[in-house]
Amino acid sequence: QGQLSILQEKIDHLERLLAENNEIISNIRDSVINLSESVKDGQKNPEAINFSQGSVSELFPSASALFAVDSEDCLFASKSGSHGAGVQMLDVYDILPFDNPDGGVWKQGFDITYNENEWDNEPLQVFVVPHSHNDPGWLKTFDDYFRDQTQHILNNMVIKLQEDNRRKFIWSEISYFAKWWDGIDSQKKDAVKRLIKDGQFEIVTGGWVMSDEASSHYFAVIDQLIEGHQWLERNLGVKPKSGWAVDPFGHSPTMAYLLKRAGISTMLIQRVHYSIKKHFSTQKTLEFFWRQNWDLGSSTDILCHMMPFYSYDVPHTCGPDPKICCQFDFKRLPGGRISCPWRVPPEPIHAGNVQHRAWLILDQYRKKSKLFRTKVVLAPLGDDFRYVESSEWDQQYQNYQKLFDYMNSRPEWHVKAQFGTLSDYFEALRKESHLGEESSNSLFPVLSGDFFTYADRDHHYWSGYFTSRPFYKRLDRVLESYIRAAEILYSLALVQSSKSEKMSAFPSVNNYKLLTEARRNLGLFQHHDAITGTAKDWVVVDYGTRLFHSIMSLKKVIVDSAHVLVLKDKSSYNYDTSTPFLKM
């Protein structure tokens, strides 16, 4: 019965496509008639018509859609006629069976094969991107994580990147970075600025947190982006170029829109339903221009990379076989605290095994690259709270450098492997695909729609968090409205208070601090384990306490500001903390 209904849906879908194609054909027919009319006119009056090479596609934008109809490709045709979006997610959800067959070593995918000569004319470029995913609260509070792990990661980053200028590292959570920055000396600060300038260290996204994309309100998401970007502007003078969202539970086109408006031009996402990842892998549409559903042009387009496999950890990022990739997570070397669940441990790289080990991981890189449209491959190297100890930096960076050096010394392997930042990858991708060149027809499809609801395996749909811990979700909205009110009243009061000597007692500096703290507490709560309700109980209480304190602080800002604004006779202004002029 189930299969019959799937068949019925597919037939309905094809009927819709046929109807749309009929429309396209009739449009083309009309255009041809118009064209022949103008050609006749042109013979009588040669100035009337002047064709350039590109004019046929301008006259028939929908023709490309018509000829894209391949069995699976009917998808891309479906919406191209109307508003240029090649892949429309609503159609994808319609045609996918959402089955879950065993795909072999890549459980949720399929076997990937390649021909060894594929890279003879154009070598494979591999970018290994070291990262450490730092949740601002989850199993520990923000402050506890910072004390136990995050500060050590950042301290070691400064030391270890300076040891070898081929090493790279990316960071995204500014809430942690700002707390660390406030506690380091100027020598360290200068070193960080140098590492950024030299392209060894990159800030990605640059928000206060890596925000949730389902339960958060867009205003608060913008606010935490501003908080992070302003901090970076003031302290480092940098503007983030690429978005990095490896852990939010499903992805929204609103995030793509906001990132684009914030000056970010490329982005990466990870937690997408495994059936969609598999489908996009077969179509090679894991890299696409994400466009808003309502955009009739292309002004909202942002280049997006979707990671193909189950997780952002090392076993699931070098290629399709986690048993092999795990052997290249050198934090799991025998004797350490974590090991490989597939029971084959990593081996330290030395002259005796480097050929075999390099070939093994190159095979994974090649297979991964087969899911994409270019010869540039991205391999993130990291996990939650990684690179805490100095020894882990050595284990990863030294062993990988040996692998790269060996691979790159074998011209017949046709590969160039190196550490890179996220922007290094996207720049190579742009070059390879000739993006931004005038004549180029983009290699990448345009996509519109969203990636909810997420399932990482089986029927594990991540939808409980849309409504869980509703008290805190509500508190978030209350604080947000208080912030907006306080900001407006404070701004007006500030202008008034500067007008007379008597008003200089207005506590502008202190209130500004309270406003900043409130914005940062609201920003912290946009984190994908905070507003979602997915943290431990005591961590939730910590978030709640911050939200509550900020609401109380903002009441003071509102009272102080309203006092200035309601006085008819400004000269009678008298600021007294013990007896506030107004009460809320």
Closest CA to 330 of 247, 391, 395: 395
Cα–Cα distance, 153 to 130 (Å, whole number): 12
Helix count (H) and strand count (E) of the chain? 19, 11
Contact by Cβ (8 Å): 298, 478: no
DSSP string, 112-141: ----GGGGSSS-EEEEEEEEEE--SSSSS-
Cβ-based neighbour number of residue 76 at 10 Å: 23
Contact by Cβ (8 Å): 137, 531: no
Preceding amide of 421 cis, omega within 30: no
Contact by Cβ (8 Å): 476, 214: no
Chain mean position to CA 308: 14
**Sign of CA pseudo-dihedral 132, 133, 136, 137:** negative
| Structure-block tokens of residue 34 | 């118009």
Query: Catalytic annotation on 247?
Result: yes
DSSP for residue 571:
G
Cα–Cα distance, 200 to 162 (Å, whole number): 9
Which candidate in 247, 383, 450, 476 is catalytic?
247
**Sign of CA pseudo-dihedral 81, 83, 85, 88:** negative
Cα–Cα distance, 351 to 220 (Å, whole number): 53
Cα–Cα distance, 526 to 232 (Å, whole number): 19
Closest CA to 255 of 292, 226, 288, 310: 292
Largest CA distance in the chain: 91
Chain mean position to CA 401: 27
**Total number of residues shown for the chain:** 584
Contact by Cβ (8 Å): 203, 172: yes
Closest CA to 75 of 448, 541, 504: 448
Q: Which residue bears the tokens 């994580």?
A: 145
Chain mean position to CA 365: 22
Q: State the catalytic residues.
A: 247
